[in-house]
Structure 1
Amino acid sequence: MENYLRVGIITATHGIKGEVKVFPTTDDMGRFKQLKQVFLDTGKEYMELEIAGVKFFKQWAILKFKGIDNINDVEKYKGHDLLVTRENAVELSEDEYFICDILDSLVVTDEGEELGTLTDVMTTGANDVYVVTRKDGSEVLLPSIKECILEVDAENKRILVHLMPGLL
């Protein structure tokens, strides 16, 4: 399992005083208000940053980091991920999983057939959709509903599914 989880991506600078525009990759954008620190993936290392201020504009979080007071200090980090440690991740309810924990899971039908590997999870308005890549390279899209996804074992990377009529 990953020790760090992505909560956002720096998309642009905001103003000249070192603030950044962040596209949130978390379900709850308001959680930036509770965060005291994040880790910036510089490409070489994870740099710990203390959050000094948070505001919101449309779908963006605007973050200010302690000790970074100039646009030139943050401009080079456009496109870089902001991460939190697993200990600082949101609490999950029963039957909720971090996508990174279930990707690459073996997907098996309730009839014992190996369907393929979970390669992506698409988030939609109604429910998530699991993208399963078969050995021949074709994809099967499975709605993440209890009638279809019977059991998820994130620790052992195994997902048990029921193929509803018309899915194949």
Structure 2
Amino acid sequence: MEKILIGKIVNAVGLKGEVKVYCYTDRKERFEELERIWVEEEPREIQNVRYHGNVAILKLRGIEDRNASEAQKNKGVYIEETDLAELPEGTYYIRDLIGMKILDEKGQPLGTLNNVLQNSAQDLYEIRLEEGRKILLPVVREFVLDVDPEQKTIRVRLPEGLLEL
């Protein structure tokens, strides 16, 4: 069973054992759909979910007081692979894209998708070129032509001059 990291416990909340979870997913409301999560290697039933800004506040079975919730600080929050939500056609989980071969618009190999950065106006593909250096490519229709999960390839059109930088 593969577990997927979806967040991190960043603090204790109150006196009754609640924990504050910083979510790595784009839908923090996802916790309402789950019956349990894993805190590192420990399965925990979700008893209650509420939100404060962009974090989820969870009450988990077995964490009953402030001391117990403080002991969870900085631990990863995981779900099982079977709990992943089904995505609409044409969208992919980042974990499934990492490692795909990057091809130019003619089908010639350029490199490998090393990472997807999500801290800007649009996502950026971090591509490790075959020669070893890295480039960043905005994930927009103009540059990303085709994603083929079965062939594990992404066909792209690079902006003019990008390889010369």
| Superposition TM-score tier, normalisation by shorter sequence | 0.7 to 0.9
Alignment of 1:8-157 (within 5 A): 8-41=7-40, 46-124=41-119, 126-157=121-152
CA distance in 2, matches of 1:106, 1:77: 38
Percent of pairs with identical residues: 35
Gaps of 5+ in 2: none
Q: What is the CA-CA distance between 1:135 and the residue it aligns to?
A: 3.5
Q: What is the CA-CA distance between 1:141 and the residue it aligns to?
A: 1.2
CA distance in 2, matches of 1:54, 1:166: 49
Q: What amino acid is aligned across from residue 102 of structure 1 in structure 2?
A: L
Structure-2-length-normalised TM-score: 0.87
Gaps of 5+ in 1: none
Q: What amino acid is aligned across from residue 13 of structure 1 in structure 2?
A: A
Aligned residues: 163
Q: What is the CA-CA distance between 1:55 and the residue it aligns to?
A: 1.1
Q: What is the CA-CA distance between 1:47 and the residue it aligns to?
A: 1.6
Structure-1-length-normalised TM-score: 0.86
CA distance in 1, matches of 2:11, 2:151: 38
What SS does structure 2 have at the residue aligned with 1:90? coil
Instruction: Write the deviation string for residues 46-82 of structure 1: whole angstroms up to 9, x where unpaired.
Output: 3211001111111111111012102222333322221
What SS does structure 2 have at the residue aligned with 1:110? coil
CA distance in 2, matches of 1:124, 1:10: 20
Larger mean CA deviation between 154-163 and 3-12 belongs to 154-163
